[in-house]
Amino acid sequence: MKVTIVQFPGTNCEYDTQYAFEKLGASIEIIWHKETALPADTDLLVVAGGFSYGDYLRSGAIARFSPVMNAVKSYAEKGGKVLGICNGFQVLTESHMLPGALKRNSNLHFISKHHHLKVASTDNTFLKKMEKDEIVNIPIAHHDGNFYIDPDGLKALYDNDQVLLHYCDEDGKISNPNGSIDSIAGITNKNKNVFGLMPHPERAMDTILGSDDGIKMLEGFLNT
């Protein structure tokens, strides 16, 4: 199992992501954004978190034009699995590989804390190892995580089972940290091979650091 991680100037979660997937037995290659091709044996492509291009203009807006993104797009179009975490999610929406957009958090604060999430759908390759309505505790750390999509787009997401995660409290009651429409924390594209989420499962790999709930989430991503 080979996980390829894209690194832009300003990416800062590539090594956490490497640690997480190595812990699960995958081999990792981190590639610089100037690359025009992905390693041929890539099983999962990760756009990691951070602050690509300093979040200038809008989060993810400039990374979208990096050479590697053409390769990422064609990889996804051929059915390859793409995961965008946090800034990676922002890059994927800016690239139109995922619908909607990520606005400034409604309270205007940078939010960094553990937050519970509820699994909305397991009918996809990413969360198939989890149970519907299962609750996990995963850190969030973002300024622009306020997911927005127009009403028609929202309906289409639900009709096609593309909403995978909602923010909730420890009892599973919906709890919205950032103003996201319908408390949405993660979605897929129509074909369900591109997944973006604001929370950081790669930071929830050890109980000593607060939670290891990221393990069962990321394990599913490796299972081909």
Partner 1 sequence: MTAIVNISLKSGVLDSQGKAVHHALDALNFKGVEDVRVGKQIVLKLTSTDKIAAKAEVAEMCESLLTNTVIEEYEIELIS
Q: 61: alpha, beta or left, given left = phi > 0 and alpha = psi -120 to 50?
A: alpha
Which positions from 56 through 75 interact with partner 1, judged by CB under 8 A? 57-58, 61-62, 65
Which positions from 175 through 204 interact with partner 1, judged by CB under 8 A? 179
Smallest gap from Cβ 5 to partner 1, in A, equals 25
Which positions from 157 through 176 interact with partner 1, judged by CB under 8 A? none
150 binds partner 1 (CB under 8 A): yes
Nearer to partner 1, 44 or 149 (CB): 149
Q: Is 116 a catalytic residue?
A: no
Do the beta carbons of residue 182 and residue 148 sit within 8 Å?
Answer: no
Quote the DSSP letter at residue 203: G
Q: How far is CA 41 from CA 8, 24, 45, 46, 157, in A?
A: 21, 18, 11, 14, 31
Number of residues in contact with partner 1 under rule CB under 8 A? 20
Classify 46 as helix, strand or coil: strand
Which residues on neighbouring strands pair with residue 46, listed in sequence order?
Answer: 5, 83
Nearer to partner 1, 103 or 114 (CB): 103
Quote the DSSP letter at residue 216: H
- Binding mask 40-59 toward partner 1 (x if CB under 8 A, else -) reads -----------------xx-
Nearer to partner 1, 52 or 105 (CB): 105
What is the token pair recorded at 109? 């604060």
Q: Is 86 a catalytic residue?
A: yes
Which positions from 107 through 146 interact with partner 1, judged by CB under 8 A? 107-108, 146
Nearer to partner 1, 73 or 103 (CB): 103
Phi, psi angle pair for 4, to nearest 5°: -105, 130
Given the residues 33, 86, 116, 168, select the one marked as catalytic.
86
Classify 176 as helix, strand or coil: coil
Question: From CA 76, how far away is CA 194, in angstroms rounded?
Answer: 7
15 binds partner 1 (CB under 8 A): no
Interacting residues with partner 1 (CB under 8 A): 57-58, 61-62, 65, 93-94, 100-101, 103-108, 146, 148-150, 179
